[in-house]
Structure 1
Amino acid sequence: MTKSVKPAKPAASATASDKLGKTQLVEMVADRTGLGKKQSEEAISATLDAITGALQQGRSVGLPGFGTFSVKATAARTGVKPGTSEKIQIPAGKKVSYKMATDLKKSL
């Protein structure tokens, strides 16, 4: 048995300061799935923990229709300290990269 999922309603006036927080996300999931808010919060937390764990292991995470998260290495480089224009060395590190799914990109 499949549940129908209501499409998200576009915001009336979206601005750069509009942000969907975890609380609002939990409410949306609860409304769309019929789960309670506690169950929705547990499901979202478990999902985020699984994604975080995979990224920490160096694995990429693909979410069909949404995109792919992956870990990329950054090279050591010289930067400029704001305010003083002093040159500083920025060590090599890692960052999380996101590549948007084609379907999502077309729908925006």
Structure 2
Amino acid sequence: MRTVTKTSKKAPANKPAATPAEPAGQVESGTPGKVTKTTLVDAVVTQTGLTKKQADGAVDAALGAVADALRQGQSVGLPGVGTLSVKATAARSGVRPGTTERIEIPAGKKVAFKVASTLKDSLR
């Protein structure tokens, strides 16, 4: 008895070309346009020589400190990046999408970010 094997008619997958090594200080992201926590941890490991577990703890501590400061209403300066601050928003009226019903939006707070001029200039 003869065995029949199924062959795929799909085109071979395009393999990405080898990319040159990233310059020092740059963070390579798995997703274009997005840097994840894992990417940050990997960058800390590469630049400091810490273990992955230590770098994860350091990144967690830094992000936690930023969040705690913002919850307390403090601004957070990140040299070379910018400043995060908490801004009060005024109460206002709005329209509920789909029903066109008028609603009142209460006053609240939001996080604002102001880009450092050095970073802004380097993006041009």
1:19 alignment partner AA: K
1:18-97 counterparts in 2 under 5 A?
18-97=33-112
Asked whether the equivalents of residues 27 and 43 of structure 2 are also in contact (C-alpha less than 8 Å), the reply is: no
Per the alignment, residue 24 of structure 2 pairs with 6
**Which structure: larger Rg?**
2
Deviations 1:15-43 (A, max 9, x none): xxx31111111112111221111111100
Deviation at 1:6, TM superposition (A): 1.9
1:8 alignment partner AA: Q
Q: Quick one: structure 1 residues 24 and 9, their matched pair in 2 at CA, closer, same or farther if it must change by over 3 Å? A: closer
Rounded to whole Å, the distance in 1 between the matches of 2:39 and 2:28 is 14
Rounded to whole Å, the distance in 2 between the matches of 1:28 and 1:10 is 8
Give the TM-score of the pair, scaled to structure 1: 0.83
Mind listing any 5+ residue stretches in structure 1 that lack a counterpart? none
Q: Quick one: structure 1 residues 76 and 67, their matched pair in 2 at CA, closer, same or farther if it must change by over 3 Å? A: same
Deviations 1:31-79 (A, max 9, x none): 1221111111100110111111111111111111110111000000011
Root-mean-square deviation (CA, aligned residues, Å) is 1.9
Rounded to whole Å, the distance in 1 between the matches of 2:92 and 2:28 is 41
Aligned sequence identity (%)? 57
Number of residue-to-residue matches in the alignment: 99
